[in-house]
Amino acid sequence: KAGVTQTPRYLIKTRGQQVTLSCSPISGHRSVSWYQQTPGQGLQFLFEYFSETQRNKGNFPGRFSGRQFSNSRSEMNVSTLELGDSALYLCASSLEGQPYEQYFGPGTRLTVT
């Protein structure tokens, strides 16, 4: 089975712009979670989607949003980018019956200048 894929792998944006990141889960996985990883804060949960519905949300401002499509693919969007949004954004997918056993993609490295 193919693993979780994320596109793009690297992205450079300017403050104030917006960005959309994409994630394709492992085939058969219907739950997708997003995490932000920074040197200072470590790995932090952003949100989780299941069957096109946001099931959980982390403590991030409303500039961070996401969605899930009927084929379980997910996108996250960050509007009005700030320098502090520079991070590795990781997507993970899991099976319906084992939402805690998450399998991660390679991540998207976002740099905001």
**Contact set with other proteins (CB under 8 A):** 4, 31, 33, 35, 37, 42-45, 48, 55-56, 58-59, 88, 90, 92, 94, 99-107, 109
CA 45/CA 105 separation, integer angstroms: 15
CA 69/CA 22 separation, integer angstroms: 11
Minimum CB–partner distance for residue 101 and other proteins (Å)? 6
Minimum CB–partner distance for residue 106 and other proteins (Å)? 4
Minimum CB–partner distance for residue 63 and other proteins (Å)? 20
87-94/53-57 β-pairing = unpaired
Closer to other proteins by Cβ: residue 22 or 99: 99
Beta carbons of 4 and 91 less than 8 angstroms apart: yes
Taking alpha carbons only, the member of 40, 63, 50, 61 closest to residue 92 is 50
Minimum CB–partner distance for residue 111 and other proteins (Å)? 12
- The two three-digit tokens of residue 52, written as one number: 């096109």
Closer to other proteins by Cβ: residue 81 or 90: 90
Closer to other proteins by Cβ: residue 16 or 61: 61
